[in-house]
Structure 1
Amino acid sequence: MRTSRKGSVEMPAFVRQLVKETEKRVSSFFKGGRGGAAEGEQTGEGEKEEVIPSPYLDRPVLDKLAEEGCARWGLTYALGSMQGWRTNMEDYHNCVPQLGGELADWSFFAVFDGHAGSTAAQHCSQHLLGHILATGGLGPEDDPDRVKGSLTEGFLQTDKHLHAVARREGWERGGTTVVSALISPYNIYFANCGDSRAVLCRSGQVCFSTEDHKPYSPLEKERIENAGGSVTLQRINGSLAVSRALGDFSYKGAENRSPNEQMVSPEPEVCVVERSPADEFLVLACDGVWDTISNEELCAFIHNRLLVCTDLRDVCSQVIDLCLYKGSLDNISIILLCFPGAPQLSTEALHQEAELEDLLESKVAEIYDELCARGEDPDLLAVLTILASTVIPGLPPGGGIQSKRNCIISAYYQQREMHNPTVPNATEGS
């Protein structure tokens, strides 16, 4: 049976405190890098220069959306999503652990990463699966060629329908990348359109990953130029950073060319991987994840986290925090799918995790006391900087010191409260 739980998950207060202490530096960086005059500032000719709004906030939105569920054949999954530093949340998703009817043992999951608005991502998240199913190519016989054809046709029909909606409603700007996984009893079908990515971990190693569709890739660049476009600054016409997407109709107007021959193609790259008992987990994520962590690092990190955590929503939350701390400035969304062969809770790993956190707490105390003894202000950033240059054994593979920053921040505020009990503890309250 399918189960599902959704809701907003609050970021711990001590993480908010860290953001509060660093936001001025980050805000100054973003504002200083916008180029051009400030709003209302006069140019040399006495005219106002046009201001390009920053795509970033002065402080990130840290609240997380979480969802979890399971399918009757043994799949469990969780979703984690956060707006982060972006001015708007443009990510959407679709999680259907059981398709129903004769496809009751099939599952479908997808991440949609919108750009220049969220309209395309929202629309496609609601309609893509329906268009795929409408092709009639999915069935108990699980014919790979028919299924792959259905996925491709489903994407093309979704784009066609989206274009009709855009014309009717008077908008053509904006689009969305899509990465999806259709799981049958025998195969996993990957359909990727853009630079979101899917990674399959088998026997503790990366077994398969989709390829990002970037304008500077040779075949993509050739198509773009044949359609009358150019690739400048690794972007189509110096603007769009992906070469395949649903929507983006201003890049799809080349006459006498099919949809998959336009500057931006809606055609997904579809791959099929036969399932194995050694399959552990599958990750679908937007580029807000992949911009900061490699396939191998994320596979190692999640493998390690599953040994110490049974709540998949918490694992997704830890991945989001890790990407944020490693510098991701984008919306961050991840779907984690665990197969029956996924790593299980380990007593030894739990013991090692506890020892690591004890070690980190003692290191923070040592650094805090040393800074106080030197008459220096032991602010959080100073403690984090010193600790980052310290050799710490046993850190989670693929995550490093950034993956334990929440533990470090909590330990820091414990020290601050011990040294100055009158200062409110940032781990308490909102």
Structure 2
Amino acid sequence: MGAFLDKPKMEKLTAHGEGNGLCYGLSSMQGWRVEMEDAHTAVIGLPNGLSNWAFFAVYDGHAGSQVARYCCEHLLEHITSNPDFHTGGPGGGSEGSQAEPSVESVKSGIRTGFLQIDEHMRAMSERKHSADRSGSTAVGIMVSPSHLYFINCGDSRALLSRGGRVHFFTQDHKPSNPLEKERIQNAGGAVMIQRVNGSLAVSRALGDFDYKCVHGKGPTEQLVSPEPEVYEIERSDAEDEFVVLACDGIWDVMTNEELCDYVRSRLELTEDLEAVCNEIVDTCLYKGSRDNMSVVLVCFPGAPKINPEAVKREAELDKYLQNKIEELIKKQGVDSIPDLANVMCVLATESIPNLPPGGDLASKRSVVEEMYNRLNPHQSDSTCGATNWGNVCGSSRL
């Protein structure tokens, strides 16, 4: 939902860090949307004696950014400070104990934290007589020394690459999913055009209080539920490579396998995780994503390392593209140099060797633009700086 700009805002918010044997990078871009509604959290070292733990999350806001922003600042606190996180509920442990929480305690505490922050935001809204109707999905990962806890509420998604392939990914909460649809109907709602009451595209989210006012129903029985699904996976130091957290602006144009393969290919070229994340959002923009885009990449010690052969192949690809662009410009002549859109369309018809898996030609769009501008002595502002090349060339898979 929401209106679009005449041209996308491509400035990025980026960050990176490391600790506890982890490295992370993140990037977010407003893109074609009139407002940036995404937010994120990246924390290495958690409170209450969990300095060797970490937490990362992406929040995809809708109908405003207020809920997403509040969650990025306060959700972790609600999770780690509630008693369930440390005891797993009544009788789950001794009061005041600083022992590392059990798997079931963590899962219980995460669920309680989500329900608490949702109720807290509702109470704040009512006290302020606020007209805020925004909501937000949330996808995250809590990393302990022994486990990975994947957390999902909505249709943002997380995946784990282990042993060179997609090992696990979270399931999107869509209104058309049988169990989600059953809950919606039990609450007196309907699923129309794959949306809650024909309006909201997700069946679980934080906020969205207009969909959480059915009397006689608990918070997890409403039209839209704030309850996350939490999955625990034992860590594998030998095989765990990386985790990707991303909003649906990324997943709209890349499958799990495509993104996993693309990230692996980029990690063989650079250790700069911020740069890898920037390439992901740029590639998704050129693949046709019209939404805000946010991605967090968390790498484990087993992540792919720089590969000299991969670096050589990338250099050969760039040289190949440069030669093709030179040929096109020389062929047309100085007086009729093709614009950048036409250059991309011609390249899309070529069988180009060594294109990044999952990224395809779209992932080289910025490289092609740089080469084109350098080789074209009569460049102008008409090069369609961020055109959706899929639409221009009649294919969304460039």
TM-score by length of 1: 0.83
Output aligned runs, 1:161-200, within 5 Å. 161-169=120-128, 170-200=130-160
Match of 2:113 in 1: 154
Query: Structure 2 CA distance, aligned partners of 1:340 and 1:183?
Result: 14
Q: Does the Cα contact within 8 Å between 2:25 and 2:297 map onto a contact in 1?
A: yes
Structure 1 portions without partners, runs of 5+: 1-52
Match of 1:16 in 2: none
Q: Does the Cα contact within 8 Å between 2:44 and 2:55 map onto a contact in 1?
A: yes
Query: Structure 1 CA distance, aligned partners of 2:18 and 2:31?
Result: 27
Query: Structure 2 CA distance, aligned partners of 1:254 and 1:424?
Result: 54
Query: Structure 1 CA distance, aligned partners of 2:262 and 2:203?
Result: 30
2:17 maps to amino acid = G
Match of 1:28 in 2: none
Identity of aligned residues (%): 50
Output aligned runs, 1:376-391, within 5 Å. 376-391=336-351
Q: Does the Cα contact within 8 Å between 2:2 and 2:63 map onto a contact in 1?
A: no
2:103 maps to amino acid = P
Output aligned runs, 1:50-61, within 5 Å. 55-61=3-9
Q: Does 1:95 align with 2:42?
A: yes
Q: Does 1:344 align with 2:305?
A: yes
User: In structure 1, the residue corresponding to 2:166 is in which secondary structure?
Assistant: strand
Output aligned runs, 1:368-383, within 5 Å. 368-372=329-333, 376-383=336-343
TM superposition shift of 1:171: 2.4
Residues 56-104 of structure 1: per-residue CA shift (max 9 Å, x gap): 0111111000001111x21000110110100000001111011145201
Query: Structure 2 CA distance, aligned partners of 1:347 and 1:204?
Result: 18
Q: Does the Cα contact within 8 Å between 2:39 and 2:68 map onto a contact in 1?
A: yes
Residues 363 and 230 (structure 1 numbering): CA distance in 2 closer, same or farther, change over 3 Å?
same
Q: Does the Cα contact within 8 Å between 1:103 and 1:140 map onto a contact in 2?
A: no
Residues 1-48 of structure 1: per-residue CA shift (max 9 Å, x gap): xxxxxxxxxxxxxxxxxxxxxxxxxxxxxxxxxxxxxxxxxxxxxxxx
User: In structure 1, the residue corresponding to 2:139 is in which secondary structure?
Assistant: strand
Match of 1:63 in 2: 11
Runs (4 or more) in structure 1 with deviation over 6 Å come to 422-426
User: In structure 1, the residue corresponding to 2:49 is in which secondary structure?
Assistant: helix
2:153 maps to amino acid = C
Aligned counterpart in structure 2 of residue 406 of structure 1, from 345, 349, 366: 366
2:295 maps to amino acid = I
Match of 2:21 in 1: 74
TM-score by length of 2: 0.90
Residues 202-249 of structure 1: per-residue CA shift (max 9 Å, x gap): 111001100000011111011101101111111111110000000101
Aligned residues: 369
TM superposition shift of 1:141: 3.6
Residues 140 and 54 (structure 1 numbering): CA distance in 2 closer, same or farther, change over 3 Å?
closer
Residues 362 and 140 (structure 1 numbering): CA distance in 2 closer, same or farther, change over 3 Å?
farther
Query: Structure 1 CA distance, aligned partners of 2:145 and 2:167?
Result: 18
Of the structure 1 ranges 348-357 and 153-162, higher mean CA displacement relative to structure 2 is found in: 348-357
Match of 2:203 in 1: 243
Structure 2 portions without partners, runs of 5+: 87-97, 384-398
Q: Does the Cα contact within 8 Å between 2:153 and 2:227 map onto a contact in 1?
A: yes
Match of 2:53 in 1: 106
TM superposition shift of 1:352: 1.1
Match of 1:361 in 2: 322
Q: Does the Cα contact within 8 Å between 2:189 and 2:197 map onto a contact in 1?
A: yes
